[in-house]
């Protein structure tokens, strides 16, 4: 599995496994669908619930702070939350790895 923590990430190295574990837990508990509308955008559909939107916003807000090449857009809904993840062309492989990681954590094959 490809790593999705690129060298350009400013999160201290010791904290990176903790952040990855947070994403893994979110994907394992909440991921219901993934799609890749184009090579630089990944759509993740997460099961909603009490506090889930806030958790997602907090997590992607912190991730944006250390990996500014990510653009996260949260589309909340009553039963599901769609999370769009976009990158620039230089970070396409990071998005590939994030898609692989999400699928693995949710126990799915990459579409």
pLDDT of the residue at 7: 63
Query: CATH assignment of 15-105?
Result: 3.30.1360.40
Which alpha helices (H) appear in 31-91, and where do they start and end? 52-66
Residues 10-31: tens digit of each pLDDT: 565 667 768 788 999 999 999 9
Confidence of residue 5 (pLDDT cuts 50, 70, 90): low
Enumerate the domain spans of the chain.
15-105
> For 3-7, 64-68, 70-74, 96-100, which range has the lowest pLDDT when averaged over its residues?
3-7
Token duo for residue 100: 């692989």
Residues 64-85: tens digit of each pLDDT: 888 888 999 999 998 999 999 9
Say yes or no to pLDDT of 97 above 60. yes
Task: Write b or e for each residue in 90-102: b if 16 or more Cβ atoms lie within 10 A of its Cβ, otherwise e.
Answer: ebeebbbbbbbbb
């Amino acid at each position: 599995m490809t790593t999705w923590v690129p060298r350009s990430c400013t999160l201290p190295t010791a904290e990176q496994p903790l952040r990855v574990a947070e994403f893994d837990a979110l994907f394992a508990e909440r991921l219901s669908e993934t799609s890749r509308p184009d090579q630089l955008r990944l759509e993740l559909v997460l099961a909603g619930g009490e506090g889930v939107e806030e958790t997602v916003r907090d997590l992607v807000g912190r991730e944006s702070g250390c990996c500014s090449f990510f653009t996260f857009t949260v589309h909340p809904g009553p039963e599901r939350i769609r999370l769009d993840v976009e990158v620039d062309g230089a970070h396409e492989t990071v998005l590939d790895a994030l898609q692989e990681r999400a699928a693995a954590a949710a126990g799915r094959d990459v579409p």
